[in-house]
Amino acid sequence: MSKKSKVTPWEVEIKDENDYERLIELFGVSKIDDNLLEKIKKHTNDLHILLKRKFFYAHRDFDKVLDSFEKGEKFFLYTGRAPSGKMHIGHLIPFILTKWLQEKFDANVYIQLPDEEKFWAKKVNDYEKIKELAYYEAKIIASLGFDPNKTFIFINSEYIKNLYSAAIYVARNINFSTAKAVFGFTGETTIGLIFYVSLQIVPTFFENSYPVIPCGIDQDPYFRLQRDIAEKLGYKKASTILSKFVWGLKGPYTKMSASDPSTTILIDDDFETIKQKIMKYAFSGGQPTLELHKKLGGNPDIDVCFFWLRVLFEENDKKLKELEESYRNGTLTTGELKEYTALKINEFLEKIRKNMKWAENNLHKFMYDGKLASEMWNWKFEPKV
C-alpha cells in the first residue's frame, strides 16, 4: 500500500488502482479473472455488470465453491449493513450482486443489520435513533427484489439470543493480539467493538454449506479470522467476493459519506436533488470552457459521472462506449454527461421507490415469518467438535 492508504472496516483510504492490487497481496486474496467469470457464466448464462466490468475484482475460494456446486453442493449468501444514517448508492453494491446470485444459484440469503456496530465504533451517538433507522434500511434492502421466503434480514439487538449461542464459541477462539493485528485496534477502541468481531462472524455458521459473502474489500478482515476458526468448530471456511469502492462526487477515489450531502447520492434523494448535486459537485473530466472542451475533448477516466455509469448505471456496453468516445472527442459536453447520469441514477432509484411500499408490506416475511425467517428464529449454534 502507498504510505497514506489504509483499509480497515472503519477506515477506508484508497489512493489509486495500484492500492487495489496491493490489497490483493496484503489480504492474500485472488483476483477475479476471466477463467472465474467463465466458470460463473456456465451456471448463470450471463454476467452481472458488477462482475463483467470487474468492479467486484477479488475473491477467496469462490472457484472452489463453484466446483462443489457442480458436484451438487449448495452454498448460502451472507452480507450486511451497519445502520449509521442514510444509505448512499455505494452501500447498495454488495446487495445488488447478492440478489443476482440468489436468483441465479437459488441460494438462501442472510442479511445482518448490526445496530450496535457504528455506535460502538463511535461513528454515531444516538443508539435509539439508529435502531429505528435499521427497519427503514431493511425496507430499502428488501426492495431490491430478494426472495422473501429465502432471505432472512435480522437486526442484531433483536436476534441476539440466537447469535449469542455461537458468539460464545467464536469469541473464545479469537485472542486479542490476533484481532488487534487484523483490525488495527488501539487503546482507544471500545471493548464493544472488539467483541463485535464475533457477531459479524456468527452468520457464516448459519448453515453447514459454504458461506459466500459479497462485500466491499474493507470487510474482508472479519472473514479472514473466520477462516482461522471455522474448521475447528466443524464448519466451512467463508468465501468472499470483494468489490472496490464507488468514488464520491468530489473526484477519483474520494469517499462517499452519508453525513455530507456534497459527497454522494442518497437512496432517498429525489430527482431534483440528484440533478442539483451532480451539477454542482460532481468532479468532471471536462475542460474549463466549452470552447476548449470541443477542441481538446474530456477525460472520462477521471470523471465521476462516467465512472458511475461504467460501474453500475449504464448497463448497455454499446451506449457506454459511445458516451466514452463522444466525451473524449469533445462532442459530448460535461453538462450533457451530467444530465444523462442524473437521469440514469434516478431511473435506478425509481425502481427502489416503487418497491418500497411492497417491501413495507412484506418486511415481516423477511424478518419474522417468511419460510427462512421463521426457521431462523429457531436456529441455535451447534459446535460440531
> Does residue number 239 form part of the binding site for ligand TYM (CB under 6 A)?
no
Pick from 80, 211, 285, 286 the residue near ligand TYM by CB under 6 A: 80
Helix (H/G/I), strand (E/B), else coil: 77:
strand
CA angle 41, 47, 263 (to 5 degrees): 150
Instruction: Provide, rounded to whole angstroms, the least separation between the CB of residue 84 and ligand TYM.
Output: 6
Pick from 61, 115, 117, 314 the residue near ligand TYM by CB under 6 A: 117
Rounded CA-CA distance 233/236 in Å is: 9
Alpha helices in the chain (DSSP H): 17-27, 34-44, 49-52, 62-70, 89-105, 117-120, 127-142, 156-172, 176-183, 191-201, 220-229, 271-281, 290-296, 304-308, 317-328, 334-364, 371-376
Pick from 79, 162, 226, 287 the residue near ligand TYM by CB under 6 A: 79
Instruction: Provide, rounded to whole angstroms, the least separation between the CB of residue 121 and ligand TYM.
Output: 8
Q: How far apart are the first and last CA of the chain?
A: 39
Pick from 102, 162, 198, 200 the residue near ligand TYM by CB under 6 A: 200
> Which residue reads 457464516 in cell numbers?
204
Counting Cβ atoms within 10 Å, is residue 272 exposed (0-12), middle (13-18) or buried (19+)? exposed
> Does residue number 219 form part of the binding site for ligand TYM (CB under 6 A)?
yes
Query: Which triple of cell numbers denotes residue 31?
Result: 483476483
> Does residue number 311 form part of the binding site for ligand TYM (CB under 6 A)?
no
> Does residue number 211 form part of the binding site for ligand TYM (CB under 6 A)?
no
Q: Within 240-299, which residues bind ligand TYM (CB under 6 A)? A: 243, 245-246, 256
Alpha helices in 230-316 (DSSP H): 271-281, 290-296, 304-308
> Does residue number 220 form part of the binding site for ligand TYM (CB under 6 A)?
no
Pick from 7, 29, 58, 93 the residue near ligand TYM by CB under 6 A: 93
| Contact mark string toward ligand TYM, 2..31, x via CB under 6 A | -------x----------------------
> Does residue number 179 form part of the binding site for ligand TYM (CB under 6 A)?
no
Residues lying near ligand TYM in the complex (CB under 6 A) are found at 9, 78-82, 90-91, 93-94, 112, 114, 117, 200, 213, 215-216, 218-219, 243, 245-246, 256
